[in-house]
Structure 1
């Protein structure tokens, strides 16, 4: 299906607005052409006087004829200006509305795509589609759609006048028009792949810039500014070269069209003049045809710009609609999970999982967590600890086995309900660019300030928040950059506490904080874990020492289980990790 047709099929509710804008564009062009007709009528009045066209309509006096011409001129120019205002407002409003809706639709759809899809994409390229490509579509609707309509309507209207006044001259003067239109379409078809390459190159630049800006601290610390500037330069040069190839090709359209226009204009000027001199064509009619030839043919030079804008927009629309049409791998629909009906028992049954194109991450994992129990999951880097959490949150689905919540497969549950039942605190918590209170209440929009403060106290975050310049109203900056890592972590914990979920997950939440912050989080955890299932993923074994049970993972498998004392006594993997972290030698053990 053609991208523009697909776009308007996609935006059915704007069809009436598009139709009305089209009517205004065509009406404007009608009144835009009429002044040229009036010039011919004026020449006819001066030359023919009482035998003029207006005299045959009942205006015999020449002065009255001129007054009538003046009134008609004012009226025509007034209507032309009115419809120009109306189509300009309508097209621009339509462009803004459609741009707004498409950007929101694309963003909402992207949010529902599974994590595996994001692994194959670069954030900068997604930004290019949801921002640059949608803006390119807006630019076409702002001016390109109106230009196409006006070129087509002027061709039809001028052709009608030509054939009404002189069919033989019309056939000669308008002969270049089909060639001009064919040439424009021939060029635009060959522009399509060039502008598709331009959009890809633009996405590559955005991806590079987004990557570098997010890692600016590392770039500075390694004095790698010139190295990364060279990367940006290479991406920018690639974009420039792709754009240059498209521009060189599109620039050839205008000279070709001008040659065809010249043939039509010279035909009207010379052949029409001969016909007038021989009495076959009235002087007024000749004047009308000369001016209309200019009015029709010269705007066709704008086809080059229209074709350029159209192809850029077409490539952008294809990318946006491809994004919107990306199938959702993990469906959101399912059975309801009301908060009050969930106890929080979690079970993994023979779960196998591997990331796309990677070796198996989990192999035959079996574990069962009782409702209200606090458990720890430990192991070396890459053992599969965090993957368990991602599967429980249904960021991914296992290739084999099942994950149960209170004995029911989570795959059959409504996805949003499932995630609302789980409080998740990651190693690098996400803070939105808002106040401290906004971040604690994130995901709990109906929370009061008293609720927010109570959650902060439970997370032992209240004291440092109170010392901030505006307290709970202090802006944290983009990604919380105005706060320390420990402060961000405690705000994230307060957020999870405020959510009051039956299942709480801490995924390496203390791995990047100091001992004081870890101790504060441990004290908070001892309080908030009561009455809820708590899963603690940790490298630091001190974090899980007090857990009811601990699972030890190696290479995607459960290799040991028990409480801290029992695992140390086994003198296995856990005991080795414990001695390594506490500095205890094997002989001392």
Structure 2
């Protein structure tokens, strides 16, 4: 399916707007051509007077004929202006509406894609598609679509006038048009892969810039400004080189079209003049043909530019629609899960999962009773965080199942499942809004009292009150104006405000100081009561009071029990405990 067909299929709801805008473009071009015809009629009046074309219609006085021509000119220009306004209004509104809806649809689809989709995708490239490529489509609809329609209309209308007035001259003068159209389509096919390379190069630049701006603190700390500037220079140079290859081809077509047009104009000027001199056609008809040749053929020099813009846009459209057609491997639909009906019992049965060929979980089976606090500990890469990702259905396991209150989570409505879970990760995501807006993230209907209560429960209220504008203080992109511990407390307050039946803490205290860890621990002791709490941690001190601690190693459960029980077993957990307490003793010494 061609790019245009894919776009037209997507924009089915806007077909009426497309038809109306196209109709206005056609009528506008009809009025646009008529002034050249009136010029020929005026010349005919001046030369032939009472024997002119208008005289045959009943207006014999030459001056009266000119007055009628003046009135017709006003009406024609008024009609042309009216329909220009209408087609501009329709095409531009269509461009705005379509790019708006396409961007929203693409973004909403991206949000539903599984995390596996993003493993091989650059954030910068996705941003380039969702922003630059959609803007490219808007630029085409703003002007390019109308230009294509009007060029085609000009060709048909002018050709009809030519064949009516001088069929022989029409055959010769319009001969370059098929060659011009063929050359334009040939050019379009050759230029398409080059513009695809240009869009990819633009996405690479966007990706590098996005990555560097997010990591500007690290770049400064390692004095890597020159190193990263060289990366951007290389990416920009690649973009310039790929664009230059496209420009070389697109620039060559315009001179070729210009020479083809010149031949048609010269034929009309010379051979048409000869026909007028010999009386084969009238002087007025000759004037009409000369002016119409100018009006038809010279705008064709812009056909290459239009085709260039069209091909850029269709390349961009393909990239956006490819995202929209990316398969959703995780089904969002399922049985509803009312929030108040969830008790929080979790059961993992023979769970096996891997990323590609790498298996990270091996036959995991365990049950977490409702209202209990359970911890998972182990070395990095042991599979602890993967369990959480499977519970949230960021991925689906290849084998085995996870049950919530006896129901397979794959059979539940995904939105309801995630609403029942509060998630606090090590890498806290905060928006560029106020403190209150970040605590109430995803819950715009909650009041200020509930927000303050959640902040108090997370022991964040005191530091928030010290901020310049309290709860209304903007915290900057990704919360840059706050410390790591403050960001973690806001994330915990957000989870508390959600009032989930299941609370997950994925390394939530691994990057905070001891004071913040103690504050978060005190908060957890309160908020974990009555809800199932899953804690993933490296610091064993944060999980020693859990009802059950599971020790993982290479994707397998190797030990389970309370803190005291595991110490008594003198296994892996006891060794980790001695290591961590020994390190702390050495630090104190």
- State TM-score, norm by structure 1: 0.98
Question: How far, CA to CA, are the matches of 1:78 and 1:109 in structure 2?
Answer: 46
Match of 2:541, SS state, is helix
Structure 1: tracts of 5 or more residues without a match: none
Q: 1:531 corresponds to which residue?
A: 530
Q: 1:20 corresponds to which residue?
A: 20
Matched, 1:201 2:201: yes
Q: 1:77 corresponds to which residue?
A: 77
Deviation at 1:585, TM superposition (A): 11
Q: 1:424 corresponds to which residue?
A: 423
Q: 1:460 corresponds to which residue?
A: 459
Matched, 1:4 2:1: no
Q: 1:47 corresponds to which residue?
A: 47
Q: 2:313 corresponds to which residue?
A: 313
CA-to-partner distance for each residue in 1:346-378, whole Å, 9 max, x for gaps? 111111111134x21111111210000011110
Is the 1:384–1:553 contact (alpha carbons within 8 Å) kept by the matching residues of 2? yes
Q: 1:372 corresponds to which residue?
A: 371
Q: 2:117 corresponds to which residue?
A: 117
Deviation at 1:274, TM superposition (A): 1.0
Match of 1:137, SS state, is helix
Compared with structure 1, are the counterparts of its residues 585 and 450 closer, same or farther at alpha carbon in structure 2 (3 Å cutoff)? closer
Q: 1:160 corresponds to which residue?
A: 160
Match of 1:583, SS state, is helix
Cα-Cα RMSD: 1.1
Matched, 1:485 2:481: no
1:51-66 correspondence to structure 2 within 5 Å: 51-66=51-66
Q: 1:576 corresponds to which residue?
A: 575
Question: How far, CA to CA, are the matches of 2:439 and 2:208 in structure 1?
Answer: 32
Question: How far, CA to CA, are the matches of 2:399 and 2:61 in structure 1?
Answer: 96
Question: How far, CA to CA, are the matches of 2:226 and 2:525 in structure 1?
Answer: 49
Question: How far, CA to CA, are the matches of 1:571 and 1:223 in structure 2?
Answer: 47
Question: How far, CA to CA, are the matches of 1:318 and 1:224 in structure 2?
Answer: 37
Is the 1:434–1:477 contact (alpha carbons within 8 Å) kept by the matching residues of 2? yes
1:327-346 correspondence to structure 2 within 5 Å: 327-346=327-346
Matched, 1:554 2:528: no
CA-to-partner distance for each residue in 1:79-127, whole Å, 9 max, x for gaps? 1111111111111110010000000000000000000111110000000
Question: How far, CA to CA, are the matches of 1:376 and 1:585 in structure 2?
Answer: 21
Deviation at 1:539, TM superposition (A): 0.4
1:21-420 correspondence to structure 2 within 5 Å: 21-357=21-357, 359-420=358-419
Q: Which runs of 4+ in 1 moved over 6 A?
A: none
Deviation at 1:387, TM superposition (A): 0.6
Structure 2: tracts of 5 or more residues without a match: none
Is the 1:116–1:356 contact (alpha carbons within 8 Å) kept by the matching residues of 2? no
Match of 2:353, SS state, is strand
Question: How far, CA to CA, are the matches of 1:230 and 1:260 in structure 2?
Answer: 46
1:499-538 correspondence to structure 2 within 5 Å: 499-538=498-537
Larger CA deviation: 428-437 vs 151-160:
428-437
Question: How far, CA to CA, are the matches of 1:298 and 1:114 in structure 2?
Answer: 52
Match of 1:378, SS state, is strand
Deviation at 1:284, TM superposition (A): 0.3
CA-to-partner distance for each residue in 1:415-444, whole Å, 9 max, x for gaps? 000000000000011111111111111122
Question: How far, CA to CA, are the matches of 2:483 and 2:258 in structure 1?
Answer: 65
Q: 2:469 corresponds to which residue?
A: 470
Question: How far, CA to CA, are the matches of 1:534 and 1:61 in structure 2?
Answer: 99
Deviation at 1:584, TM superposition (A): 7.2
Question: How far, CA to CA, are the matches of 2:241 and 2:173 in structure 1?
Answer: 40
Question: How far, CA to CA, are the matches of 1:558 and 1:462 in structure 2?
Answer: 39
Question: How far, CA to CA, are the matches of 1:293 and 1:445 in structure 2?
Answer: 63
Deviation at 1:69, TM superposition (A): 1.0
Match of 2:17, SS state, is helix
Larger CA deviation: 104-113 vs 272-281:
272-281
Is the 1:579–1:585 contact (alpha carbons within 8 Å) kept by the matching residues of 2? no
CA-to-partner distance for each residue in 1:8-67, whole Å, 9 max, x for gaps? 111111111111111111111111111110110010000000011111111111111111
Q: 1:438 corresponds to which residue?
A: 437
Question: How far, CA to CA, are the matches of 2:402 and 2:23 in structure 1?
Answer: 59
Match of 1:256, SS state, is helix
Deviation at 1:77, TM superposition (A): 1.1
Question: How far, CA to CA, are the matches of 1:279 and 1:492 in structure 2?
Answer: 90
Question: How far, CA to CA, are the matches of 2:180 and 2:37 in structure 1?
Answer: 24
Match of 2:500, SS state, is coil
Question: How far, CA to CA, are the matches of 2:203 and 2:351 in structure 1?
Answer: 38
Question: How far, CA to CA, are the matches of 2:200 and 2:336 in structure 1?
Answer: 42
Question: How far, CA to CA, are the matches of 1:86 and 1:298 in structure 2?
Answer: 25
Larger CA deviation: 2-11 vs 410-419:
2-11
Is the 1:374–1:548 contact (alpha carbons within 8 Å) kept by the matching residues of 2? yes
Is the 1:335–1:414 contact (alpha carbons within 8 Å) kept by the matching residues of 2? yes
Question: How far, CA to CA, are the matches of 2:319 and 2:443 in structure 1?
Answer: 35
Question: How far, CA to CA, are the matches of 1:274 and 1:441 in structure 2?
Answer: 82
Is the 1:436–1:473 contact (alpha carbons within 8 Å) kept by the matching residues of 2? yes
Is the 1:506–1:536 contact (alpha carbons within 8 Å) kept by the matching residues of 2? yes
